[in-house]
Structure 1
């Protein structure tokens, strides 16, 4: 047991040393990855405008007027709110806009009851909650610098938001673990490792190290499973794989955000610091 603990500490120290050059750019990279699926989705709608309108009018039965207004509204919201999030301007407004956009799309596109789609969306919302939590943490730190203003509140809004974000963020792995039809040995190993690491993220034990492991696993999954670039442009599965690829990137952005801000006060890591 002591050997495993020592190995874990050594790995964390090694990862920390390797990540030093990236640390100044980590928050910006995390924010960009978090919103990349929304940017890709907005450009996809613009480039496939007629197809999108046809889907709403012929397949969903909505009026042309509704289709045009809805598509314009969600496209503008995704572009504006994603830009605000990347620039770190009005973060809470950006998070609310993207969150509402996610919910509305799942309803009007008719995927709200698809459990795999639902888990992916909940993971995206978890990433957005962590983004909002970062803004609260930054605000608390700024307030703590001025005399007479409260210091960082250990039981404040950011604490509960970080906990909720951690829980929602790992739901993507449930869809990846149990969403396929065949259960191979490789998949069983993936499920076993991912399950343990996801629990570690949820309870906040070695949370930063665990988040990095999940990022590595998702990177491999994206390259070898969601390889939409390997399919012909007219292949029926290409758009679905591309959509999954960018959604997975956004979940990775949420995990990077967790690495950046930490698991929060409601975590084992934080409790251990108090003893």
Structure 2
């Protein structure tokens, strides 16, 4: 979050840092959807058929070996999404005087207003994060954290900073995935009656959430120096991002991005390897926890699927 601005004196503080089940086969291994039932004979030597068969086997293997972890994916995803807000709340608390100094000196907050601003941020981030982790009042908690993002953007003067904007778009995407997940799991007041309004809203929230999730990766590709390894990393990652956005093999591509971003996060944003007094430490820590939040959103996408507005959903009909 934006309170990660490096404001230590005397340095200038303005730098910035699920698809339908078929019978008793819950994973669809025994029964194919109609989209895969072809009318003519299949040529086993066709390269496209070979790729399709290999992808199908790979998906089946991933489903089988990830079974022990699947019940825990929603909880892991929710925690990772809000971890950046929790870290930010503790950061403000431990740097209370420096945060007040920055707001009053550089953002011209009157004395007292800066204290209220910081206290409101701390209480909202901790309270809403706890609600999301415990799956209580998720809709209100998501709205509160969205408000924190906007409030900090204006309060710290970063609302038009491209890095802040792209990263927080991805955080918003993760929060919308939490909102979609709460709509999936909550019980209808009118049991047994279809709720078309909620179903339609869920589809659009899932679509918006998964599209926004990819903006972090776009921001990463726009920064730093280019070399051959980075070109390959960017092309592979952007391909997976496009697959997530359109909802094509969304679970597989989102899982791939989870692995890719996790490796990138540990290797590049290794803030623990930087000296405590080094100014770069705060920037790396900011990037590290925000990337964890995006990984959490992608994990929820792996668990829920792309939703009704996606290529994967259309292939089932």
State the TM-score, normalizing by the size of structure 2.
Answer: 0.82
C-alpha distance 228-55 of structure 1, shift in aligned 2 (>3 A): same
2:315 aligns to what SS in structure 1?
Answer: helix
Runs of 4+ off more than 4 Å: 151-155
Query: 1:234: which partner in 2?
Result: 277
Query: 2:122: which partner in 1?
Result: 75
- What does 1:1-275 correspond to in 2, within 5 Å? 1-139=48-186, 142-143=187-188, 146-147=191-192, 149-150=193-194, 156-180=200-224, 182-274=225-317
1:12 aligns to what SS in structure 2?
Answer: helix
C-alpha distance 153-68 of structure 1, shift in aligned 2 (>3 A): closer
CA distance in 2, matches of 1:110, 1:18: 47
Aligned-pair distance for 1:271? 0.8
Which shifted more, 60-69 or 198-207?
60-69
Contact 1:154–1:265, Cα closer than 8 Å, also in 2:
no
1:88 aligns to what SS in structure 2?
Answer: coil
2:188 aligns to what SS in structure 1?
Answer: helix
C-alpha distance 111-154 of structure 1, shift in aligned 2 (>3 A): closer
C-alpha distance 197-154 of structure 1, shift in aligned 2 (>3 A): farther
State the TM-score, normalizing by the size of structure 1.
Answer: 0.95
Aligned-pair distance for 1:135? 1.1
Q: Which has the higher helix share?
A: 1
Aligned-pair distance for 1:3? 2.0
Contact 1:116–1:179, Cα closer than 8 Å, also in 2:
no
Unaligned runs of 5+ in 1: none
Which shifted more, 239-248 or 104-113?
104-113
1:266 aligns to what SS in structure 2?
Answer: coil
Q: For the aligned residues, what is the CA RMSD? A: 1.5
Mark the structure with the bigger radius of gyration.
2
Q: State how many pairs are aligned.
A: 270
Contact 1:35–1:250, Cα closer than 8 Å, also in 2:
yes
Query: 2:30: which partner in 1?
Result: none
